């Protein structure tokens, strides 16, 4: 999904703020974090913030949600320095 993309450099412990023009259905917003080929569920704080890792490395995030009109997912790659 992000093969060939250059990861966005971020500081350890940075916050990733999620913003949508329309609010997703309640309880449908979620995120997974991928590192070294393994995925795990990522907590979303206050319904709009992901705290990025403190350990250096490249991480891939998958953010997904549902709306009345359908669902969508977004993938991004960060490098914690």
Q: Which CATH number belongs to the domain containing residue 31 in this structure?
A: 2.60.40.1220
Residue 1 confidence (pLDDT)? 62
Question: Is 37 within a domain?
Answer: yes
Residue 47 confidence (pLDDT)? 86
- Per the structure, the count of domains in the chain is 1
Residue 3 confidence (pLDDT)? 73
Q: How many helical (H) and strand (E) elements, i.e. helices and strands, does the chain have?
A: 0, 7
Mean pLDDT by 10 residues, the chain (81 residues): 84 95 94 90 92 94 96 95 93
Residue 71 confidence (pLDDT)? 97
Question: Is 51 within a domain?
Answer: yes
Question: Is 1 within a domain?
Answer: no
Question: Is 2 within a domain?
Answer: no
pTM for this prediction: 0.85
Residue 58 confidence (pLDDT)? 92
Q: Tokens 């990025």 sit at which residue? A: 52
**In 3D, which of 40, 36, 34, 37 has the Cα closest to residue 61?**
34
Q: Which domain holds residue 44?
A: 8-80
Question: Is 34 within a domain?
Answer: yes
Question: Is 69 within a domain?
Answer: yes
C-beta atoms surrounding 48 within 10 Å: 14
Question: Is 3 within a domain?
Answer: no
């Amino acid at each position: 999904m992000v093969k060939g993309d250059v990861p966005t450099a971020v500081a350890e412990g940075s916050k990733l703020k999620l913003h949508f023009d329309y609010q997703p259905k309640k309880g449908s917003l979620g995120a997974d974090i991928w590192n070294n080929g393994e995925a795990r569920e990522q907590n979303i704080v206050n319904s709009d913030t992901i705290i990025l890792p403190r350990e250096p490395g490249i991480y891939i995030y998958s953010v997904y949600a549902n709306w009345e009109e359908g669902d969508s997912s977004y993938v991004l790659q960060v490098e914690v320095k």
